[in-house]
Amino acid sequence: MTIANGTISMNLAGKVAVVTGAGTGIGRATAIALGGSGVKVIIAEIDAATGVQTEQEIKSHGGQAVFVETDVTSSESVKAMIESTVRHFGKLDIAINNAAISPDAMKISEFDEERWAKTLQVNLTSVALCLKWELQQMIEQGSGGSIVNLASGATLRPQATMPAYTAAKYGVVGLTHVAALENGCHGIRVNALAPSATMTDMLARRFDLDASQDDLVSRFGLLGRFARPEEVAHAAVWLASASSSFVTGINMPIDAGFALM
């Protein structure tokens, strides 16, 4: 970070980032915010249609982006995506591990074992796989890096009836701590974000937003509304940038006080 004439610069121009699940929601908003800050962005998304849309959106504003079809549950796919990042842009500085599937909606006493396995695979094992290949690349480069894992407000104030999602997100926080402990010596920072309810497709799938939005928003924070994806994206960009150069190993709430309620 540099501070010149009272202006804070995040020094992101020329950096290279991967954003998983960047076709929609928080991942898309983060990829666009990074692209607009001069970062070269790899859109690592399983859905080609939305992945290409994010790539086009960044390019239409003069940014640099490449969509790389990626399944974050596959080690080969994640490894190939990191290799592709280096082929396209020469290095890897920033990783936003964001891809996930929606929360389950059942009690632990009745939980669906297939859904459990799928949720742990997509929402937790994927983060371990991404960390593995991202860290190997960053350590080999020897120039540090910043990794942001999307956890959830559910790790700060758990909700009933989403056991698999909650367990996976607690796991993401645990992985964040281990990765931060192991890699500070390489100048690599690893942090998590804990957003509360954010207006994305994932949230729409979980709630019938038309039904009782007033009641819902009052349960999810002190500001009387859900977060916008851009509000979570801006926190991710800050953690990715040199502006947060002394921050590692945290699980940062972006929750309008949800954890206090």
Ligand X SMILES: NC(=O)c1ccc[n+]([C@@H]2O[C@H](COP(=O)([O-])OP(=O)(O)OC[C@H]3O[C@@H](n4cnc5c(N)ncnc54)[C@H](O)[C@@H]3O)[C@@H](O)[C@H]2O)c1
Question: Binding of ligand X at residue 217 (CB under 6 A)?
Answer: no
Closer to ligand X by Cβ: residue 100 or 180: 100
Question: Binding of ligand X at residue 203 (CB under 6 A)?
Answer: yes
Closer to ligand X by Cβ: residue 71 or 93: 71
Q: Which of residues 146-175 bind ligand X (CB under 6 A)?
A: 150, 152-153
Closer to ligand X by Cβ: residue 2 or 218: 218
Question: Binding of ligand X at residue 180 (CB under 6 A)?
Answer: no
CB atoms within 10 A of CB 79: 15
Q: How far is the CB of 187 from ligand X (least distance, A)?
A: 26
Question: Binding of ligand X at residue 192 (CB under 6 A)?
Answer: no
Question: Binding of ligand X at residue 21 (CB under 6 A)?
Answer: yes
List 16, 19, 23, 65, residue binding ligand X (CB under 6 A): 23
**Catalytic residue among 89, 165, 220, 258, which?**
165
Question: Binding of ligand X at residue 50 (CB under 6 A)?
Answer: yes
Are the C-beta atoms of 73 and 122 separated by less than 8 Å? yes
165 in catalytic set: yes
List 20, 37, 146, 244, residue binding ligand X (CB under 6 A): 20
Pairing of strands 2-4, 7-9: antiparallel
Q: How far is the CB of 143 from ligand X (least distance, A)?
A: 27
Question: Binding of ligand X at residue 128 (CB under 6 A)?
Answer: no
Residue closest to ligand X (Cβ): 25
Binding part of the chain for ligand X, among 8-16, 80-88, 95-103, 107-115 by CB under 6 A, reads 95-103
One-letter amino acid of 1: M
How many residues touch ligand X under the rule CB under 6 A: the total is: 30
Contacts for 67 with CB less than 8 Å, ≥ 6 apart: 43, 45, 48, 51, 52, 54, 55
Whole-angstrom Cα distance, residue 55 to residue 65?
5
Closer to ligand X by Cβ: residue 28 or 189: 28
Question: Binding of ligand X at residue 202 (CB under 6 A)?
Answer: yes
Binding part of the chain for ligand X, among 1-9, 98-106, 176-184, 242-250 by CB under 6 A, reads 98-106
Whole-angstrom Cα distance, residue 43 to residue 195?
21
Q: Which residues are catalytic?
A: 165
* Residues that bind ligand X in the complex, under the rule CB under 6 A: 20-21, 23-27, 45-47, 50, 70-73, 98-101, 122, 150, 152-153, 195, 197-198, 200-203
